[in-house]
Structure 1
Amino acid sequence: MIPDAILNQLELPGATYEPVPGGDINRSYCLHTAHTTYFLKINRHHPHTRLFEKEAAGLRELAGAGMLRVPAPLKWGVAGPDQYLLLEWLHACAPVQHSWEALGLSLAKMHGKPQPFFGLAEDNYLALWPQDNTPADTWPEFYSNRRIIPLARSLTDAGKLNKADLANAGNFCKRLPELFPDEPPALVHGDLWNGNLLFLPDGSPALFDPAVYYGHREMDIGMTSLFGGFDTGFYKAYHQSYPLQPGWEQRLPYTQLYPLLLHAWLFGGHYIRDVRNILASFS
């Protein structure tokens, strides 16, 4: 049920709704009015304050790049113990010929526009993890200090990783300058798995649930392959527009370490083993 306090703030008289399945983080609903349809997300306000305000800002950042379609954030706020985000409803359809190629081309164009630094003007979230986006001059500095070490320490403090794992994470970070090719910062979606992608009725792609920042573009590529589901046409079109540097396939585990650390923090289980498998080669 949508709390009355939220319905009152939305000011959509006569709206009907039903829950939307899927997702582990938020309660989601499809709202219908006489004239249009909306997507509504709800979560507790504490401890993840400003969660949806940050998501709305990420959507605006992606929209401002002008390369990829995203749902327009329409209203967000706090009502009682809950926070909410009202979004434009995007009608999902099956991809058509060249849909995946269009996604690859658009993402490559977005990545091809250099950004001023690694980081972002404000912090945000990856799922429920607070992302520290304090700017850094280099990718190794940013990836180490803003991504890998904070999560590895949190997992160690929680007893999910041990001191040897944390030491291996430190060794990994020391080697980052030699592991990643030197490239300018790029705007990345930040959580680009197939569950955050849909295709519109005209076959064009749209993305949602971002965790944006200016980072190494291979972070988005690694995320696309972490859980599968991306057609080969996507990679072919991306490479043709903005070729990845040699060895990108061997670097996939390094880009995937951050989301795997997050999943270990959220869910534990086999994600802890996946993290340890990557870190083991840096013992």
Structure 2
Amino acid sequence: MTNNLKSHLSNLLNKTITNVSPVSGGDISQAFKIDTSNNAYFLKLNSASALNMFQTEAYGLDLIAKTNTIKTPKVIAFDSFENSAFLLMEFIESKQATAEDFKVLGKQLAALHQCISENFGLDTDNYIGSLPQSNTVHKTWGDFYTDERLLPQLKLAKQKDLLSDAECPSEQQIKNYLESLFQNIKPSLLHGDLWSGNYLISKDGTPYLIDPSVYYGHSEVDIAMTKLFGGFGHAFYKAYESYSPFDVNTSARIDIYQLYYLLVHLNLFGRSYYGSVVSILRNIKS
């Protein structure tokens, strides 16, 4: 962080910054803890071109917070300065989650998913990782998930020569496969990228969601992502299901929802995700 940016942030906060230390913040942006005499803040820093990404992240955090179901860090500001873009938030001092913490997280996520809309999608596009994510509104979940989630990632994978035409199902094959699985699904507000690095448990046991990729979709999408890489305790799922029960098609839908995230990881990180992607694609084509 440059001295000029540090001075700019100090003026923005109207406080003297006493310490700046790098912290773990993911693969996309630099992250820092900023200490003042009486508060701590979390700063994400990237190139100036990332301003829209930070803007949509701030929008998602605010949208979740306004549901009063689960907390998100308060956004202080997002802006560009010199050749950088930044997102400044309150700093949440976190701890390892206990079984009781996971129980509360599961209950509050289920409450978030009770916040519904008339349509699937969102009034603005955003990002999944560093990739653009289209949220064009659809009346049906099958159309949204096919057209705004699977097809764009399949197209990108083919452009990157990570998948061949022969390995990818057609739009009609996808929609035919999904039709029987996607019955009576309501548009729930989703975090959109709920892996174990995107929740925090504060020192007093309060769950917080961070780094959202929000839109209105099927609630099981968030559950699918929690199961893809692990990091959520048994108490989380037990609590969640007591408020939002699963059904006989949940397992099959989990695979389909994980396909989107696996395609994203294939496009971002390469062929180590190829086998998992192709295995699910074969089920769709069969």
The TM-score normalised by the length of structure 1 is 0.94
Matched AA of 2:217: G
> In structure 2, what is the equivalent of residue 37 of structure 1?
40
The residue correspondences of 1:193-272 to structure 2 (distance < 5 A) are 193-272=195-274
Matches of 2:203 and 2:253, distance apart in 1? 35
How many aligned positions are there? 281
Pairing partner for 1:184 from 181, 186, 200 = 186
> In structure 1, what is the equivalent of residue 134 of structure 2?
132
The TM-score normalised by the length of structure 2 is 0.93
Deviations 1:70-114 (A, max 9, x none): 111111101122110001100101234521111111111111232
> In structure 2, what is the equivalent of residue 9 of structure 1?
8
Matches of 1:59 and 1:175, distance apart in 2? 33
Q: Which runs of 4+ in 1 moved over 4 A?
A: none
**Is contact 1:263-1:271 (8 Å) kept?**
yes
The residue correspondences of 1:68-217 to structure 2 (distance < 5 A) are 68-167=70-169, 171-217=173-219
> In structure 2, what is the equivalent of residue 50 of structure 1?
52
Matches of 1:14 and 1:37, distance apart in 2? 9
**Is contact 2:51-2:80 (8 Å) kept?**
no
Matched AA of 1:37: A
Matches of 1:78 and 1:170, distance apart in 2? 43
Gaps of 5+ in 1: none
Question: Which piece of structure 1 moves more, 207-216 or 79-88?
Answer: 79-88
Evaluate the alpha carbon distance shift between residue 201 and residue 49 of structure 1 in structure 2; reply closer, same or farther with a 3 A threshold.
closer
**Is contact 1:168-1:280 (8 Å) kept?**
no
Q: Deviation of residue 220 (structure 1)? A: 0.4
Gaps of 5+ in 2: none
**Is contact 1:179-1:251 (8 Å) kept?**
yes
Deviations 1:2-27 (A, max 9, x none): 13443233224334211113511110
Matches of 1:188 and 1:216, distance apart in 2? 8
**Is contact 1:194-1:230 (8 Å) kept?**
yes
Question: Which piece of structure 1 moves more, 59-68 or 77-86?
Answer: 77-86
Name the SS for the 1:50 alignment partner. helix
Matches of 1:72 and 1:248, distance apart in 2? 34
Matches of 2:58 and 2:3, distance apart in 1? 22
Matches of 2:209 and 2:37, distance apart in 1? 26
Question: Which piece of structure 1 moves more, 228-237 or 13-22?
Answer: 13-22
**Is contact 2:193-2:225 (8 Å) kept?**
yes
Q: Deviation of residue 169 (structure 1)? A: 6.7
Name the SS for the 2:24 alignment partner. coil
Matches of 2:34 and 2:121, distance apart in 1? 35
Name the SS for the 1:115 alignment partner. coil
Provide the identity percentage: 36
Q: Give the CA RMSD over aligned residues.
A: 1.6
